[in-house]
Structure 1
Amino acid sequence: MDTQQSTSPAYFSTKNFCTCLIIAMLTLSGAGLYVMSHYVATSIPYINRIPRNQLGVTFGANEDTFAPNHTATYVTGDHWQDYSILPSNTLPITLNTGWVKQLRHTTMQLTGQQIVLLLSDERYLDVLLNWMVHVVLVSPLTLKNVLIISLDTVTHQILQHKQFHSIYVPRHYFIRPDLPATKFSHLWVIRLIIIRLLNSWNYDVLVFDSDAVLLRNIQPLLTQFAKSDIVSSSGSYPFDVHRKWGVPTLCMGVILIRSSPKIKQFWQTVESVVVATTDDQVRVNKALDKMGIQWQQLNHKKYYRGMTTGLTPLIVTTLPSLVICRHCRESFKDIYYVWHHHAARNGTAKRVNLNRNDIWLLRDDWNKTVKNSLTGTQWIRNITRPHTAM
């Protein structure tokens, strides 16, 4: 992994990823209150106030500094804190530097250039484990390349005990603790920040919702679109973008964002786009629309390829519903690569949907095995329903 890191051309410097993270957190959590259209590529006094030894990274003398030109950022203890105006649902933006270091340390333990990313908490832990069962059953995607962002300590401790790669990201770093846990804004903010960080470290990031269940090995299909910077499942939201384009929008339930040289422009546009929500699917599609993406249908199966404007256009491919379904049909199970049937945003609805269609392969008593000595793939096989083909 070290060799791969050192030979791959990085488009972000080490200092840039830290400041880039601040920018991403400010813009993504701002629900449109921050407009980051202009950046200063010189050393800024605000950044100079930050003790560099608190970042846990090495800075080169010739590296550029990127930061918003209107926001004062300071350090208090182990956290970044921003004191500009914030929306009502967020705390002052904080970043535990130890968490960034742990994320970087964990990525160095993974193999290959692609990281498979999921987010979960205790309410959806069984949905996540069911996803893992399918990975072991039908796909050579190794769990060693799966990185799970755990939003609570219970999920994190169980996954670590079973020797899976988990990073604990406390919700209270982003969202006011008095708000209901059913709010999804923090999940969307965290997910985009981490994808961007991993891209900046030269990793391709394949994102799954935990209820987007693999039925077939999707890697050969993704390889067919090796020239695409982004490969995504299809959606219809945001509706205004869908109507404008006349083709499917990108769905964040299954999406591959490659660390290509051109992806930097995409992330800069994601920062600058003004939206009235923290939903990452809205922000990603609005960013591509702002980049002037133009679409064409590749074939009768409704694969679409889009190209942004500019000298180095970004190439985007959306996969049809017969590959990754959103309104799934039992009769097409042998055709689908991923079963991602639309369900309400709660664990019960997702379990009912998966169980109704024989996609739920997790043992009902899986939680009784948490303390046993099995780990990794062995434990996943142990919590798979009997009579399931392995």
Structure 2
Amino acid sequence: MAVVKNVLTLVFVLLFVLLLQYYVTHREIVYYMVDKDSTNDDSKINPKSDPNSVYVATQVDDSISPITPESEILFPYPNITHLPHEILNSLWAFKMKAKLEASRKDKQLTVVMVSINYLSVLINWLVYAKLNAMPLLGNLLVVCVDQYTHEILSRKGILSQFVNVTDIIYSKEDMHDNELFSIITRLTILRLLNYWGYDVLQMDIDAILINNIEPILDQFHDSDIIISTANAKNCQTAAAFKAWSFCLCIGVTLIRSNVNTERMWQALGRTTVELASNDQTRLTSIFLKSNVTWTPFDYDTNYYLKGTPQNKDFTVIALPQEVVCRNQCNTTRLSSYYVYHPMKTHHVDAKHDNNMMAQEVWRISDHWNLTLNTVQSTMDWLNEVTV
């Protein structure tokens, strides 16, 4: 009798385990680790073990399936950032994807990144976009690396998403460059947006839109990547300048979402990287490794370059300085540029506003900071701060 009782007990336990496993695997639950004291929706998320964190279960929309550890997507900083499925399953990623799906029907996005230190520079960029390139504002996504800036932009009706760099970067213990944290975050997000199917036009916020650059970009609809250039003074990869006599500048970069760019991203994700390697250096490295050769051609009387790797996996268009001026810019011919990207205007110090003012590319009022707490439409706000 005791034997029968033990067998029945064992069977009951096994059935309970099987039912529990079925329940767990058929519910779309994603677990996050959030700070105990945090009450904000966009609170810091850290999928790694942390004794000061607690597990919170968040129900995911039925139309979104969590990514598993076996997912094949790779990110460009594999030895620095969290695992791919951890990034894809992060709360900010779900929020950003939902916002885009709800409000952005166009396949192409304009993406800029900002922190509170650069808020005035962003507002200046927005004013120029309003004046000269309205279509780019229509598909704008602003990635904020601080919560305060995200809240300001949300009050103004601008689509933004707060992303804490520690949600992407695994460890900051040996890293002391906050700007580098943002750069790593930026390239990771560009890759994620491509993975979601968006063509991404990434712009630095000190790359001022003097004219609408979309007609130029549209001329090269068959290219996979379009990128601006710089000369030796702004060259962060000596090997590139030695091989090509110029350097790439990610200040204006369009990366399309297709099979060719997916190969590029996967190639980046299979190579480890030094901590000091920024996004510009990272993209350049894959072009060098692919033995890209550049063929000059003329379009609208300007000097362009078409880059093709040895295996012909993708095509790159390098924009000339006459289109996106990074070096040797001339304020007397400001209107001739599509994007005016002057040097030494983007460092975090008291001079960056003055530098842009001196170069006649500053169009916001001295009282812009008094407008931050009001709730108003994007256009009303930009009209208010424009001078």
| TM-score, length basis structure 2 | 0.74
Displacement of 1:289 in angstroms is 1.2
Displacement of 1:373 in angstroms is 3.9
| Distance of aligned partners of 1:179 and 1:242 in 2 relative to their CA distance in 1, 3 Å threshold | closer
Identity %: 28
8 Å Cα contact 1:202-1:259 kept in structure 2: yes
Displacement of 1:254 in angstroms is 0.8
Give the structure 1 partner of residue 320 of structure 2: 320
Secondary structure of the corresponding residue to residue 110 of structure 2: strand
| Distance of aligned partners of 1:357 and 1:298 in 2 relative to their CA distance in 1, 3 Å threshold | same
Matches within 5 A, 1:284-323: 284-299=283-298, 301-310=302-311, 312-323=312-323
Q: Determine the C-alpha separation between the residues in 1 that align with 2:272 and 2:207.
A: 29
Displacement of 1:183 in angstroms is 2.5
1:206-265 deviation line (CA, Å, top 9, x unaligned) = 001110110001000111111111111102423323233224232111100011221111
Give the structure 2 partner of residue 76 of structure 1: none
8 Å Cα contact 1:325-1:336 kept in structure 2: yes
Secondary structure of the corresponding residue to residue 244 of structure 1: helix
| Distance of aligned partners of 1:143 and 1:243 in 2 relative to their CA distance in 1, 3 Å threshold | closer
Give the structure 2 partner of residue 98 of structure 1: 91
Matches within 5 A, 1:205-220: 205-220=200-215
Give the structure 1 partner of residue 154 of structure 2: 160
Displacement of 1:181 in angstroms is 7.4
Q: Determine the C-alpha separation between the residues in 1 that align with 2:67 and 2:365.
A: 51
Give the structure 1 partner of residue 280 of structure 2: 281
| Distance of aligned partners of 1:178 and 1:246 in 2 relative to their CA distance in 1, 3 Å threshold | closer
Displacement of 1:176 in angstroms is 5.8
Larger Cα Rg: Structure 1 or Structure 2?
2
- Segment drifting more, 200-209 vs 139-148: 139-148
Displacement of 1:352 in angstroms is 2.0
Secondary structure of the corresponding residue to residue 157 of structure 1: helix
Give the structure 1 partner of residue 386 of structure 2: 384
Matches within 5 A, 1:335-374: 335-343=336-344, 345-374=347-376
Displacement of 1:309 in angstroms is 2.3
8 Å Cα contact 1:55-1:97 kept in structure 2: no
Matches within 5 A, 1:65-84: 65-66=71-72
8 Å Cα contact 2:237-2:284 kept in structure 1: no
Q: How many correspondences in the alignment?
A: 316
Letter in 2 for 1:204: D
Does residue 127 in structure 1 map to residue 127 in structure 2? no
Q: Determine the C-alpha separation between the residues in 1 that align with 2:336 and 2:208.
A: 13
Letter in 2 for 1:170: N
Give the structure 2 partner of residue 388 of structure 1: none
Structure 2 gap segments, 5+ residues each: 1-29, 31-56
| Distance of aligned partners of 1:122 and 1:175 in 2 relative to their CA distance in 1, 3 Å threshold | farther
Give the structure 1 partner of residue 137 of structure 2: 143
| Distance of aligned partners of 1:53 and 1:65 in 2 relative to their CA distance in 1, 3 Å threshold | farther
Displacement of 1:177 in angstroms is 6.8
